Structure 1
Amino acid sequence: MTLVLLFVILFFLLIAGAPVAVALGVSSLVFVLLDGLPPVVVLHNMVNGINSFPLIAVPFFIMAGHLMNTAGITTKIFAFARAGVGWMYGGLGHVNVGASVVFAGMSGAAVADAGGLGNIEIKAMREAGYDTDFSVGITAASSTIGPIIPPSLPLVVYGVIADTSIGQLFAAGLIPGMLMAFSLMVMVGFYAKVRNYPRDERFSISVFARAFVQAIFPLFTPIIIVGGILFGIFTPTEAAIAAVVYSMFLGLVVYRTLTFKRILRVSMDTVETTASIMMIVAASTIFAWILTANQVAQMFATELLGFTENKTAILLIMMLVVLIVGCFMETIAAITILTPVLLPVAITVGVDPVHFGIILILNLMIGLLTPPVGMVLYVLAKVSDVPFERCVVATAPFLIPLVAVLLMLTFIPSLSMWLPTTLYR
């Protein structure tokens, strides 16, 4: 009965508009008090939840993304992508995807991609005569590549909660991220044919070479981060610090676009974003501890396996659960709550924790594109000055290729497991 009350209070607070961290913390505190446990248990578990070395990477990856945006580096990335793939029909749509792939190797966050590149991409597409719904839709969908291609903030959090190698998770995200990009470019090609979208500009070696030279230093960022992690030069935490140092070097020395005021603003934005994430992680930890202590995962596994022992059916049911939760809950909170419940079931039916992490994160990324909590849609509604409801409609068709990739990754594990198996096992 007390466990039922835990979920009732949680959902009531969420529906009432309380912050996720508050909803999780208050519902957990009420459970602890009614169960006769000392309130200090809540604080103890919350502190332990964020007392994790890999989580140090979170503020540094956040700061690196903010520095890239503030220093104007996103503009150079967009220009490079435009010179590389703008010659294709529907060129700026392909540029949109290509720029997101490059930026993914720097920020690791979908919202950072949408906020940083989104304004540049949508403005350029509007000026070139592209429909607003197409511009907003492809910008939203391509931003979800960020948390799949390393570095990835959600994968760092999942790795901590699941006690899984973050290096292997980063390696596992490379091929799925490229599959997402390819599928979205196929969708762009379809739109270009149906709506007769033009090429952006003809391919020119001189233009491409010039754009490459201007973007060469930013392009080294994902090489430093991803290459350093995959080849054992950095731990993910050290790579995050290296990303900040390199971003500062670009902004202060190479491009000289960073000032003391801008660095101060970036630092304050980083503190604010990090505090929000850490509060959610801390509150989710006590909530997950309650679920674990009351054997909710075991009960869920028993009920699910009692319903069916078919691996395919179980995976589909779990993915449906994640998709529904992702529509209503912020990504980090969803990871910390769902992982302790679903991961044991996945392992029981033979799913590798690394593989499960990739399909879990991709599923939750799709949730960022769906109401009522779709954060990417809210960001794009702001930067594009398009109503939220219209953003939802514009993004809906682009869910098709993303769901198709999700199903491929779910049922063809080698797509995500080949690289980590080759490098680490």
Structure 2
Amino acid sequence: MAETLLIVFIVFILLGMPISIALGVGALGAAMFYPVLNPIIIPTRFVGLLSDSFLLLSAPLFILAGNIAARGGVARVLIDLATAIVGRFRGGLAYVNVLDSMFFGGISGSAVADVSALGTFLIPQMVRKGYDLDFATALTVSTAVVAPIIPPSIIAVIYAWMAEESVAAMFAAGVVPGLLIGIGMSVPVFVIARQRNYPKERPPTLPEFLAVFRKALPALMIPAIIMGGILLGLFTPTEAAAVAVVYALVVPPIFYREPALRELPKIFADSARLSGVIGLIIGFVGAFGWVLTYSKFPMKVAEAIATIAPAWWMFIVLIIALYLLHGRLFGAPLT
């Protein structure tokens, strides 16, 4: 059964089908080939669970808050603030890219939203200042991976739902790793900026810095409201996401004169599209894993690993390789 499931899944992936469709068809195909499983269970038991989860409702709300903020001038003022902080160093805009991904990750929790929001502003600006286009693009995409780590992380919400863990604990656990990832990304920036002699930005005077900080303060309040409210127990993650959406709808038009009302339908449509993809993947991953578990595939894999890797270090290397393969297949669509 597991062999059929994996073969169908791999064939659909090679044919270029979306991950969610490949997962769903693979699970349904395995259930249809083996009458002991009822294919009707799959959509009702797993996809239907999504509509019953109050916690998972926070994921599309965080995505919506991030998209509203991105088009509401928040990304621009965060770039200005990051430039005032780290722009004075060699390759300043590259450091701005790293720092701004950490800032914006604290709003959207999504790498896709991070890239779409910051790439629109930063990549053209970096190219105009003399940065190579390939470097600017690669850096923007790479730094966005910190967004699913720094709270509010959509992946952390999904994991907390599936593992029945505390979302607040998951968010708190992501702060230090997110900061370390950001610091680690600054190391290659330091080396490449000196090799290619990328420019520095003019350091701001104290009044200029204070003016930039005051302008960015309403934007910085979004992650503060989310994390502060959750950790202090003022509201649940879903309520925090709803508050963030309302804040993003009300505050940017007042302070930044954006977004225009005519942009809201597109913002809602883009958010719904990304949320739908994530929802399908969550539902079909559950069905996929259920069929694998029913066929005792995890036990077979564990026995094979124990046979192939008798030494503890070989076991760890093999587990890391499996996680990398799993992340290559499933990680990106969830971010």
> TM over 0.5: same fold?
yes
Deviation at 1:203, TM superposition (A): 4.0
Partner of 1:26: 25
Partner of 1:121: 122
Query: Residues of 1 paired with 2:162 and 2:333: CA distance?
Result: 11
Query: Residues of 2 paired with 1:165 and 1:15: CA distance?
Result: 37
Query: Residues of 2 paired with 1:241 and 1:54: CA distance?
Result: 12
Deviation at 1:94, TM superposition (A): 0.8
Amino acid in the other structure paired with 2:32: L
CA contact (8 A) 1:94 1:185 kept: yes
Deviation at 1:318, TM superposition (A): 1.9
Partner of 1:242: 243
Answering whether residue 85 of structure 2 is matched by residue 46 of structure 1, we say no
Deviation at 1:153, TM superposition (A): 1.0
Partner of 1:394: none
Deviation at 1:327, TM superposition (A): 3.0
Deviations 1:5-53 (A, max 9, x none): 1111111011111222211111111111221133321222223441322
Deviations 1:274-327 (A, max 9, x none): 112111211111111111222222222233234446554433322211222333
Deviations 1:333-371 (A, max 9, x none): 7xxxxxxxxxxxxxxxxxxxxxxxxxxxxxxx8xxxxxx
DSSP-derived class of the 2:56 partner: helix
Query: Residues of 2 paired with 1:311 and 1:79: CA distance?
Result: 49
Pairing of 1:81-230 with structure 2 (within 5 A): 81-230=82-231
CA gap of 1:54–1:312, structure 2 versus 1, over 3 A, is farther
Amino acid in the other structure paired with 2:4: L
Partner of 1:7: 6
Deviations 1:39-96 (A, max 9, x none): 3212222234413221111110110011011212101110110011101111111111
Amino acid in the other structure paired with 2:277: S
Query: Residues of 1 paired with 2:241 and 2:71: CA distance?
Result: 18
Amino acid in the other structure paired with 1:46: F
* CA RMSD between the two structures: 1.9
CA gap of 1:226–1:67, structure 2 versus 1, over 3 A, is same
TM-score normalized by the length of structure 1? 0.74
Query: Residues of 2 paired with 1:98 and 1:39: CA distance?
Result: 48
Deviations 1:140-169 (A, max 9, x none): 211111000001111211222222222211
Partner of 1:288: 289
Amino acid in the other structure paired with 1:6: L
CA contact (8 A) 1:71 1:251 kept: yes
Deviation at 1:330, TM superposition (A): 5.0
Query: Residues of 1 paired with 2:311 and 2:236: CA distance?
Result: 38
Deviates more, 1:97-106 or 1:280-289: 280-289
Deviations 1:224-278 (A, max 9, x none): 1122222322322121111111101113333332333222221122222211211
Query: Residues of 2 paired with 1:282 and 1:11: CA distance?
Result: 18
Query: Residues of 2 paired with 1:285 and 1:279: CA distance?
Result: 10
Query: Residues of 1 paired with 2:208 and 2:313: CA distance?
Result: 49
Query: Residues of 2 paired with 1:206 and 1:117: CA distance?
Result: 26
CA gap of 1:149–1:304, structure 2 versus 1, over 3 A, is same
Deviations 1:87-134 (A, max 9, x none): 111111111111111101000011111111012111111111112222
Amino acid in the other structure paired with 1:190: V
Query: Residues of 1 paired with 2:136 and 2:118: CA distance?
Result: 12
Deviation at 1:195, TM superposition (A): 1.7
Query: Residues of 1 paired with 2:5 and 2:107: CA distance?
Result: 39
Deviates more, 1:171-180 or 1:293-302: 293-302
Between the two proteins, what is the percent identity of the paired residues?
A: 32
Query: Residues of 1 paired with 2:107 and 2:151: CA distance?
Result: 8
CA gap of 1:312–1:106, structure 2 versus 1, over 3 A, is farther
CA contact (8 A) 2:130 2:199 kept: no
Query: Residues of 2 paired with 1:323 and 1:285: CA distance?
Result: 20
DSSP-derived class of the 2:146 partner: coil
Query: Residues of 1 paired with 2:142 and 2:126: CA distance?
Result: 15
Gaps of 5+ in 2: none
Query: Residues of 2 paired with 1:76 and 1:327: CA distance?
Result: 33
Pairing of 1:379-394 with structure 2 (within 5 A): none
Deviates more, 1:264-273 or 1:70-79: 264-273
CA gap of 1:133–1:331, structure 2 versus 1, over 3 A, is closer
Query: Residues of 2 paired with 1:212 and 1:223: CA distance?
Result: 15
CA contact (8 A) 1:67 1:248 kept: yes
CA contact (8 A) 1:86 1:203 kept: no
Partner of 1:369: none
Query: Residues of 2 paired with 1:306 and 1:62: CA distance?
Result: 44
CA contact (8 A) 2:2 2:297 kept: no
Query: Residues of 1 paired with 2:187 and 2:91: CA distance?
Result: 11
Gaps of 5+ in 1: 334-364, 366-425
